[in-house]
Amino acid sequence: MLDLRLTRAARPAVQLRRLLVAAASAGTGFLLLSCLGYALKRPEAAGSGALRLAWCVVPVAATVYLALAVARTDPGTRPRPGLSAIGLGPARLMAVSALVTALSTTLGSLVALSLFLHLRGDLTGLPFDGAAASFLAAGKSLPLAATLTLLAVVPVVATVAVALALRPRDPRPVVRPQRRYLPFVRQAGGPAAGGPAAGGPATGGCTAEVEAAGEGVTSAGEGAPAARGAVIDPRFTPPSLADKADDDKGPGDTPSGLPWAVALLAAGLTAQAYAGRTPPTPAFTFTTVPTGAGLFLLGWLLTAVGLVLAAPGLTHLCGRLLQCARPGALRLLAGRGLMAEATRIGRPLGILCAVTAAGYAVTTLYDAPGRPFGPLSALGALVVAGCAFATLLTVAVETRQGRAETTDALLRLGAPATVLRGAAALRAFALLAFFTPLTLAIAALAAFPLTR
């Protein structure tokens, strides 16, 4: 009952984000059902139907990513002091988040099924004078197993992704002591016989060192006092910089992976330019992929992955550029904020840039009058672009929630609220000014082989 109250008592902004997840799930479910209708209408074109179904992987991934971002920003399922005492520990809250995600995506799938049946004419007759009957297989019975399987794809994948991402973790790194199984002799107050002093191996076990130090304290306690702090148990030492996650790194830590991202980006653009030397015949569309278009698709995939991986490092660089040339308080606050949030903001920003570049390439591809942009293609583009933009806004809300304590501390110290709002506006303007020309340049280079 308390879980239900936590879910229902959310603020309107939280409910709006859940409705966005339901809307994205409805659009993706309708695309999957449309692939089923196409296969029923044209059973002889099995290859084209399988290709349509393969393209649906992109909106499914976008919907799952949006559901994961919304689950992370849900304040009702965030661990707080006192909840564990009433049975709402991290594992229980993770289950609540997964349940909310499952309900939202299932609602969207039911809406998609209702709309699909309505357009087929199974409920109240054919609407729009039967305009949708050509690609929804109106008049043919739907297989129940295939329909339920396609509708369950988004809820199952999104729920599993949320459960895996929000599972409880131990904040301390697991350091297990190494044990030596060779016989050795200890000296009172001294190193083991197999240690470095005796010419043995220098990689002694952590437990042996702690026990040797304990013997030294015991033997020295009979005479002189023993030296304190000689041995520190590594289980109680803070994690090193290499063990920290990218989301937990500070402003001075540069996100890793930028050189590999640049290499992938260059490889993708090179593959597309090489594939553009011999244009594939017949023309490349969503339903017909010729044999020579594999290099095109590989180039697009490498370019998108490289752009997503490079975005955190470029965001960190953007924060550094804001602080150069004797910065004031406003630029310094904005730049340090970008550097600290580079990984968290950079990933969805890179995805949005990749979607924008791919949209420009697809628009160039469908610019010919003989290949119009159909309603299902428009729906797929709307779902992917809308999920990418909504995910970026959701991550921005999560970032704002993460720095709420810092903002309150600055306000208590006397910082004007206008300075904080100006720093937020400056961060948004810097990202827009940096990534807009970069995205347009990559989109133009990616679409150039298609225009030759």
pLDDT tens digits along 250-259: 555 678 888 8
Pick the closest to residue 357 from 413, 436, 279 (CA basis): 436
Total-model pTM: 0.76
Contact in structure between 257 and 313 (CB atoms under 8 Å): yes
Q: What is the pLDDT of residue 80?
A: 64
Residue 139 Rama label (left phi>0; alpha psi -120 to 50; beta):
left
Q: What is the pLDDT of residue 282?
A: 52
Q: What is the pLDDT of residue 366?
A: 62
User: Cβ atoms within 10 A of the Cβ of 303, count?
Assistant: 27
Q: What is the pLDDT of residue 222?
A: 45
Q: What is the pLDDT of residue 75?
A: 75
Q: What is the pLDDT of residue 238?
A: 46
Q: What is the pLDDT of residue 230?
A: 46
Q: Which amino acid is at 225?
A: P
Pick the closest to residue 30 from 378, 386, 365, 389 (CA basis): 378
User: Cβ atoms within 10 A of the Cβ of 364, count?
Assistant: 17
Which of the residues in the chain have pLDDT under 50? 182, 184-245, 248, 370
Contact in structure between 33 and 116 (CB atoms under 8 Å): yes
Q: What is the pLDDT of residue 448?
A: 77
